[in-house]
Amino acid sequence: MTFTLWFAFLCLALAASFSPGPGVLLAISTTMTLGARRTAYSSAGNAVGVFLVSCVAVSGVGLLFQRSPLAFSALKLAGAAYLAWLGVKQWRGAAKGAHSAVPAAPAVPDAGSRYAVFRRGLLVACSNPKAILFFAAIFPQFMPPGQVDARRFLLLSLTFVACTFVSHLSYVLLAAAAGARFLTGPGMARLQRGTALLFIALAIAMAR
């Protein structure tokens, strides 16, 4: 694979990664509620999910979602339901923390654990049907005609994963820097409600 071709994919991956989506929104909301360090586990989960999605996209499963409206609709509705559930949880967390001076603790004791945060990032990445179609449409453009080059696939996938992680890190640092102004009870509650509404809006957009 030539450097020029890889660089073209890198630019495309950066543009896609830095476009705000469910993964970015999850990273920002996790930063505000649990802190930047814990958000690293969410971003790691999202990166693993992106890699799994890329594997699915170049397999027969990706082709199935491209050709079967029913299968794609089922995945789309599942992803929308998960985003809506995250939005409801965020809204409830805002209600509980509205009168406290610090972000509300998770309602479930393990909800803020490293594993739980990692799992949320993983599920958000894996439940995004548009990501599967994106990889299924883009990867063939950078592959040899009529075949899947394992080394090239690994290079492209890891490049996209790295871009995803860099974009999340950038958003997390911005959120952490700005968040210090809002980490009071009422301000934090408003911020959490805002992100909750964005999760629900994304869910509705995905379902439609």
Give the Cα-Cα-Cα angle 41, 195, 132 (nearest 5 degrees). 60
Q: Is it the case that residue 159 has pLDDT exceeding 90?
A: yes
Range(s) of the domain holding residue 156: 37-207
The pLDDT tens digits for 168-204 are: 888 888 888 776 555 555 556 666 677 677 767 777 8
Q: What is the pLDDT of residue 158?
A: 92
In a domain, residue 52? The reply is yes
Q: What is the pLDDT of residue 179?
A: 63
Q: What is the pLDDT of residue 190?
A: 67
Between CA 129 and CA 35 the distance in angstroms is 28
In a domain, residue 24? The reply is no
In a domain, residue 7? The reply is no
Q: What is the pLDDT of residue 94?
A: 62
pLDDT (mean) for 60-71 = 66
In a domain, residue 89? The reply is yes
Between CA 4 and CA 2 the distance in angstroms is 5
Q: What is the pLDDT of residue 84?
A: 79
Quote the pTM value: 0.71
Q: What is the pLDDT of residue 177?
A: 78
Q: What is the pLDDT of residue 122?
A: 92
Q: Is it the case that residue 14 has pLDDT exceeding 80?
A: yes
Q: Is it the case that residue 118 has pLDDT exceeding 90?
A: yes
Burial 101-125 (b: 16+ CB within 10 A, else e): eebbebeeeeebeeebbbebbbbbb
In a domain, residue 2? The reply is no
Q: Give the distance, in angstroms, between the CA of residue 147 and the centroid of all CA atoms in the same chain.
A: 29
In a domain, residue 18? The reply is no
Between CA 198 and CA 196 the distance in angstroms is 5
Q: What is the pLDDT of residue 142?
A: 82
The pLDDT tens digits for 86-102 are: 777 767 766 655 444 44
In a domain, residue 98? The reply is yes
Total number of domains constituting the chain: 1
In a domain, residue 25? The reply is no
Q: What is the mean pLDDT of the chain?
A: 76
Among the listed residues 116, 127, 129, the one whose alpha carbon sits nearest the alpha carbon of residue 49 = 127
Q: What is the pLDDT of residue 56?
A: 80
> With bands split at pLDDT 50, 70 and 90, how would you rate the model's confidence at 75?
low
